[in-house]
Amino acid sequence: MSSGCDHAIEYIYQYLDDEISWTRSTRIKIHLRRCSSCMDAYEFETKLKSVIRERGAAEPPPELFDTIRTMLQNESKNTNTD
């Protein structure tokens, strides 16, 4: 993890909600490209958000986190075998 991680994680949520300026979102994009741990967090939040939106759930049930983690793991397996 680089020193920019704390800020990146902090802004990922706002970035997903389109609540930050383009300068900050650009910085996050650059950071995500260089930092796999923040990229994982970003992908997880993106997935979680879309599933919550699809289901119309206000509070994500705990099993949803496992489902999304499995989805992400399967996806990375698929990309690795390409």
Rank residues 36 and 70 by Cβ distance to Zn ion and give the closer one. 36
Are 28 and 15 spatial neighbours (Cβ–Cβ below 8 Å)?
yes
> Looking at 12-20, 27-35, 41-49, 66-74, which segment touches Zn ion (CB under 5 A)?
27-35
Question: What is the spatial distance between Cα 3 and Cα 24, in angstroms, rounded to a whole number?
Answer: 16
Q: How many CA atoms lie within 13 A of 43 on its CB side?
A: 16
Site for Zn ion in 31-70 (CB under 5 A): 35, 38
Residue 28 binding Zn ion, by CB under 5 A = no
Residue 72 binding Zn ion, by CB under 5 A = no
